[in-house]
Amino acid sequence: MPAPVASLDSDALSASSSASATASSCASSAADRCGGAARIAAGSAAFRRSNRALFFGGFSTFALLYCVQPLMPLLSHEFALSAAQSSMVLSCSTAALALSLLASSVVSERLGRKPLMVGAMALAALLTIACAGAHNYAQLLVLRTLLGIALGGMPAIAMAYLGEEIEPSSLGLSMGLYISGSALGGMAGRVIASLLSDHFSWRLALAVVGVAGVLAALEFWRSLPASRHFRPQHTAWRAMPAAFRGHWSDGGMPWLFALAFLLMGSFVSLYNYIGYRLLATPFSLSQSVVGALSLLYLLGIYSSVWAGRLADRYGRRHVLWALIAIPPVGLLLTLSNWLPLIVFGVALYTFGFFAAHSVASSWVGRRALGNRALASALYLFFYYFGSSVVGSLSGLMWESHGWPGVVLVLGSLLLLALAIGWRLRQLAPVAQADL
C-alpha cells in the first residue's frame, strides 16, 4: 500500500479501500495489463490528464456542497429562520448525498464511470446557479436536496475509476491529488461564498460558485481519459444484500460506521454554529472573517498524513482512540470569550478530526476482505448522514442553551466516539493488513 494520503472533507475515504482492491485484482504482470490495455502510469500524458480532471472533480464537488455553510446566518436573517432551520440548507444536501451514494455506486457498475461523474458535476453546478434565484426557502431546500442526489455520483465512483485505470504504483499520488482537490474545494467554497456575500449578496455568491462548477465540469469532461478497464456488472444489485450482511456481521465494521456518524456529525455542527457565535456580540466579526475560519481545514492536510504514518507504525487500533481524544480538548477551549483561544480550539478540533477520520476510514478499506466498494460507500453513507442529522439537531441546543448547549451535545458525542475507539483496541484482526 502507498503511504497514507489525507482523507479529507469528503470524503472521502482512504486510498486503499475500493480503489486498491480493484487495482490489485487486475495486476497480473509487471506491465499491469487488464483486458489487453496497459494502465495509466506516472509521467504519461494520460496520467497528467486524469489527475487534472479528478482534481477539478474533487474541488468542484465539495465547493458546491459546502459553500452554503457560512451563509446560514444570512439565510436566517433573510427568511426569518432559526439556526436549526437554516442548517437544513446543508443537512438536506448531505442527507440526500448519503442516500444516493449507495445507489450511484451500483448504477455506475452498469453505466460506466465517466458518464455518471460528468453528469453529476454538471447537474450539481446548474442546480447551484438555480439556488441563487430561489424565491423562498422551501424552494432553496428542494434545489439543495436535488444537488445532494446529483453529487452522489462523484465520491465513491471517482475512487473506483482511479483504482481501475491507474497503475498501482502510481495510485497513491493520483488518490492524493483527488483528495487534496476535495479538501481545497470544501475550503474554497466556504471562503469565496463568505467574501462575496459580505460585499455583495449570498445570491451572487452561489451564482459565482455555480458558474465555477460548470467550468470545472467542462474541464473534467475534456481531460479525463475514457475508461479502458471498466466492465459492466449486470448482477450488482442482486449481490448487494449478501455483501451488506457480510459487512454488518463483522466485529469491527459497524463500530467504524458509527464513528463516521459521530465524528462528522460533531465536526460539521461545530462549523455550523460557531459562525452564529462569532457574528454576535461581544465578537461582532464580519462574514468574511468568520468564513476565513475554513482556512483551518489546511491543518487536515497535514494531520491526516501524519496520523496515517502513525497508524502504519503503531497500528490503527492503538492510535485511533488517542486521536479521537484531541477534538474534545479543542471543543472545551471554544467556551472561552477570548477570540484567539477560540480560534486555537477550533484549529485543534479540526486537526484531531481529520487525523481520526483518516485512520478510521483507512481501517475500513483494510478490514474489508471483499466488497470493498460497498464498505467504502457504507462508511460515506454514515459520514454524511451524521453531518445531516447531528448538524441540524445541535441547532436546537444553540437556540435553547446557546454555545454551552452546543458544546454539551458535541462533547457527549465525542465521548461516545472515544469509548468506541477504546473498544476497538481489542478488535481481533481479520488479516495481516488489518493491524
Mean pLDDT by 10 residues, the chain (435 residues): 37 38 37 56 83 88 92 93 92 91 74 85 96 96 96 80 75 66 84 91 96 95 83 63 71 90 94 92 89 86 78 85 96 96 96 88 72 74 89 90 96 97 85 58
Name the nearest CA neighbour of 340 among 285, 409, 416, 298: 285
For residue 93, the model assigns a pLDDT of 95
Beta-bridge partners for 40 = 166
34, β-bridge pairs: 37
pTM of the model: 0.77
Let me know how long the chain is.
435
Average pLDDT over the chain, rounded to whole? 82
Q: Looking at residue 380, what is its pLDDT?
A: 84
CB 44 within 8 A of CB 211: no
Residue 338 region, left (φ>0) first, then alpha (ψ -120 to 50), else beta? beta
In whole angstroms, give the CA distance from residue 97 to residue 343. Answer: 30
Q: Give the position of cell 467504502.
A: 376
Domains within the chain, CATH numbers bracketed: 18-26+36-426 (1.20.1250.20)
pLDDT at 14: 38
Q: Which grid cell sits at 174?
A: 493520483
DSSP 8-state class, residue 112: -
Please report the pLDDT score of residue 215 as a whole number: 96
d(CA 364, CA 324): 16
Residue 339 — left, alpha, or beta (φ > 0 → left; ψ -120 to 50 → alpha)?
A: alpha
Q: What is the DSSP string of 134-160?
A: -SSHHHHHHHHHHHHHHHTTSHHHHHH
Helix 202-223 vs helix 113-131: crossing angle, to nearest 10: 160
